[in-house]
Structures are given as structure tokens and as C-alpha cells.
Amino acid sequence: MIRTFYQVLIFITNFLNSIVEISVGHTPDSDDAFMFYGMFTNKVNSPDFRVNHVIEDIEKLNRKATSPQLDVTAVSVHACAYIPRYTILRSGGSFGIGYGPIVTAKKQMNVEEIKNCKIAIPGKMTSAFLLLQLMIGKFDYIEMNFSDIPLAVKNGEVDVGLVIHETQLSYEQEGNLKILDVGEWWDKTTNGLPVPLGINVMKTSLGMDTIHKFDKYLQESIEYALDNFDDAIDYAMQYSRGKPRDLIEKFVKMYVNSVTVNMGDKGEESIKRLFEMAKEKSLVPEFDLSIAIK
């Protein structure tokens, strides 16, 4: 009996020692919360990981990843040009299917008028900023927290705002007009490739075995949320920023899709196309993307 007790104790000790404690960053946005619902509420468990989650605005997560500070983090696809010590996960990406960031103002403008304005952007490392540069060329800008941009446009603090997240759907209620559709432009330009906006990355130093295990864990969390949609939306509503449930449901359905579960060939191709176009215009430094996607 004593021997059996010690064998059990050794087994438990070895099991606990095999669990990797990792920090996971995600944004205070309903689509991210939806994806991580299963993981962060222990509806989906892993024998391999103990997760400590960190919630930050996407641009703050982008900048943290340049250090790098977090083991796993959501980042803008654009940020991959500046975070060589991370590997892209195949699950958890935000890809628009024919839609994406938009540009808003108080009045209609043509492209030349827009380019002559100072445009409020949600961060220099966001994919929205890179996509808009590809669409209209370089322009003058001011960085703001993404949630402050709609009001800044409405109040006339800025003439034009580059809008991401759920305010892509609520701009009319906020008293603004859509004057450019960046996602629509990408869709037409690439013959229907998904719009590459956000992804999850993991420190390459943790090793590919650990990375693949966590990727599977995240995929299971996303699949659980999709299978338990109403409960996952209930959880995500804590990050709704006062938006109604029907709008949050629509937003989540837009950005948690089949490419989110696994980016597949189309998602991978869209990321590569983004950086090919950006390198041609010298908008990102030279780097080897092939080593980042596994």
C-alpha cells in the first residue's frame, strides 16, 4: 500500500511538472473573448498547459511582441514583420471574407481628398494601417486608441478615421459615413482571398511540439465556442463596449469563421500576399515569412 501511495505521488508530481505555465494575450474584443471562452472558463482543458491571460489593446500587444514579453499573443498580421522570435499559429486568426476595416468621415470624400487629410489610425503596426497604405498610398496620420476614433471623427477632432473591430458595423449609429471600404478593395484586388487582419503567435523558443499542442488546444476552444454559441456570446458580451447583443453576434460571426478554426491554404496565401505587396512598396522590412508559418 505504501509503495502504491508513493507511486501515485510520483505520478502526480511528474504530471504537474510536465504542465507548462504560459502567458496568453488577447484583446478586449468580443471576437477574441469568444474564441478563448472554452479555454478561459475551463470548459476545454489541456493536460499540457496552465494559462495566465493578459488583456490589452491590439497595438499594445503588437508592441509587447517586439520584446517579446508574452508566450502566446494575439497580434496584427502586419506586426509579423517586426517579431522574428514568434511562430504563427494556424488557429485563432481574424480574417475577413470580403470585408474588413473601413474609413469614416462626416462627409463624402474622394481618394485624393482623403489623402490630404490627417487620418486617425488604430496603430502603426495594425494590419488596417498597412492595408490602407497599400490601397491609397502613404498619408499623414495620427495614432489613437481604436475605440476613440469614431467619436474623434464625429466631434471634428479629425476629418477621417480608419475603423476596426465592431465599429465597422456601428459607424452610422455613431453619426459617421463610410467613405472607403478597405476589405472590399482587398477582396477585389486579390480575387477573393480572405482579408488578413489578426493572428495568434507563440514564442518559437518553446519548441514546435509545444507550439503544435497549444495550437490544437486553441482550435478546440474555438470549436467549443462555435458549438455553444449562445453561451460563448454571453461570455463575450463583457467586452461589448456597450454595443447591443445582436451587433456583437453579427461581428463575431464575421470574424470567427472557418479560416479562424484553421487558416488553411487560403489564409496562409493571404498573409504571404499582404507582405509581397508591402515589400514591393517598401512598407515593411525584409524578413523571411516562411519560417514563421508552420
Give the separation between CA 36 and CA 259, rounded to whole angstroms: 16
Compute the mean pLDDT over every residue in the chain, rounded to the nearest whole number. Answer: 90
* pLDDT at residue 4, rounded to an integer: 60
CA dihedral 220, 222, 228, 230 (to 10 degrees): 160
Is the CB of residue 97 less than 8 Å from the CB of residue 253? no
CATH topology identical between 2-95+195-291 and 102-189: yes
Please provide the CATH number assigned to the domain covering 2-95+195-291.
Answer: 3.40.190.10
195 contact partners, CB below 8 Å, separation of at least 6: 95, 96, 97, 98, 99, 100, 131, 182, 183, 186, 187, 270
Give the separation between CA 164 and CA 152, rounded to whole angstroms: 14
DSSP label of 69: -
Give the separation between CA 140 and CA 154, rounded to whole angstroms: 19
Domain boundaries, the chain: 2-95+195-291, 102-189
Cell of 180: 472607403
Average pLDDT of span 245-262: 94
Report the b/e string of 117-134 with b at 16+ CB within 10 A.
bebbbbbebbbbbbbbbb
Band the pLDDT of 249: cuts 50, 70, 90. Answer: very high
Per-residue pLDDT tens for 77-109?
Answer: 999 999 999 999 999 999 999 999 999 999 999
Give the separation between CA 241 and CA 289, rounded to whole angstroms: 35
Average pLDDT of span 200-225: 96
Task: Name residue, grid cell 458595423.
Answer: 169
- Superfamily of domain 102-189, CATH level 4: Periplasmic binding protein-like II (3.40.190.10)
Task: Name residue, grid cell 455553444.
Answer: 228
Query: Measured in whole angstroms, how far is the alpha carbon of residue 104 from the centre of its chain?
Result: 21
Task: Name residue, grid cell 523571411.
Answer: 288
State whether residue 107 is helix, strand or coil.
Answer: coil
Q: Quote the percentage of the chain above a pLDDT of 70.
A: 92
Is the CB of residue 145 less than 8 Å from the CB of residue 241? no
Which one is predicted more confidently, 255 or 166?
Answer: 255
Task: Name residue, grid cell 522570435.
Answer: 85
Average pLDDT of span 4-23: 55
Task: Name residue, grid cell 517598401.
Answer: 282
* pLDDT at residue 6, rounded to an integer: 43
Report the b/e string of 254-288 with b at 16+ CB within 10 A.
bbbbebbbebeeebbebbeebbebbeeeebbeeee
